[in-house]
């Protein structure tokens, strides 16, 4: 195992956008929108969690380079009655890209939402049959040439 040697590459502007979705009960999403989640505002806390995760990516992903991030924006939003979508945009001027940082931001934001709403998602057996995190992916990456 090795961390890829990027010492021969020049620093250029790079940007990555990642996206993911959490499917919840429609009632849970309604509680989020009405500000009735006991733990607080999941969308607000998810933004912060996503930024923190992007900044810590090289500590979480073993062979990922630590990068000087110039911008991290995490945008959760309700997309229909039972889904919350999270879009993360990460920017840097570095020798390698920021896809992993964008994916980490989305993942942490979605996990935070789940953690904050899980009490509303449980069924009578204490399970989460309708709660699903899905479609976490890079939707765009850009490198200034």
Catalytic residues: 115
Distance of CA 45 to the CA centre of its chain: 12
Q: Where are the alpha helices (DSSP H) in the chain?
A: 26-33, 42-55, 57-60, 99-121
> 81, 95, 67: which is closest to 27 by C-alpha?
81
DSSP 8-state assignment for residue 39: T
Q: Are 90 and 74 in contact (CB under 8 A)?
A: no
Task: Name every residue whose Cβ is closer than 8 Å to that of residue 124 and which is 6 or more positions away in sequence.
Answer: none
> 121, 52, 58, 125: which is closest to 88 by C-alpha?
52
């Amino acid at each position: 195992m090795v961390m890829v040697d990027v010492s021969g590459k020049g620093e250029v502007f790079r940007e990555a956008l990642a996206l993911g979705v959490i499917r919840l009960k429609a009632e849970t999403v309604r509680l989020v929108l009405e500000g009735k989640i006991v733990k607080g505002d999941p969308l607000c806390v998810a933004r912060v969690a996503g930024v923190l995760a992007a900044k810590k990516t090289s500590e979480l992903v073993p062979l990922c380079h630590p990068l000087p991030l110039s911008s991290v924006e995490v945008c959760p939003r309700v997309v229909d009655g039972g889904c919350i979508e999270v879009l993360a945009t990460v920017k840097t001027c570095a020798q390698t890209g920021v896809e992993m940082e964008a994916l980490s931001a989305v993942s942490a934001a979605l996990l935070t939402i789940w953690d904050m709403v899980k009490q509303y998602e449980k069924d009578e057996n204490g399970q989460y049959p309708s709660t699903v995190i899905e479609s976490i992916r890079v939707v765009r990456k850009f490198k200034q040439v």
